[in-house]
Amino acid sequence: AKEPAQWQQLAGHTKNVSESIKRLATSVKEMAPGQRECDHAIQELRTLYSEVDKAFTNVETL
C-alpha cells in the first residue's frame, strides 16, 4: 500500500497536469485562426436576431 504522503503528492501532480491541459486547450481555442472574427460575427448575429425578434413582436401587436 502506498503511503498517504505519496497519495497526496500524486493528487497534487494530477491537479497540476489537469490545470495545465485546461490552460493549453484554452490557449489553442483563443489562438485559432479567425476565432476573434467568428466570436464577433456570432455576437453580431445575436444582436440582429434580437432586433428582428422585436420587429416581429411589434408587427404582431398592430
Q: So where are the chain's domains?
A: 1-31, 34-62
pLDDT on residue 17: 94
pLDDT along the chain (62 residues), means of 10: 83 93 90 85 95 88 78
pLDDT on residue 2: 65
pLDDT on residue 19: 94
25/28 Cα distance (integer angstroms): 5
- Compute the C-alpha angle 35/40/41, nearest 5°: 95
pLDDT on residue 40: 92
Q: Distance between alpha carbon 27 and the CA centroid of its chain, in Å? A: 11
pLDDT on residue 3: 87
45/39 Cα distance (integer angstroms): 10
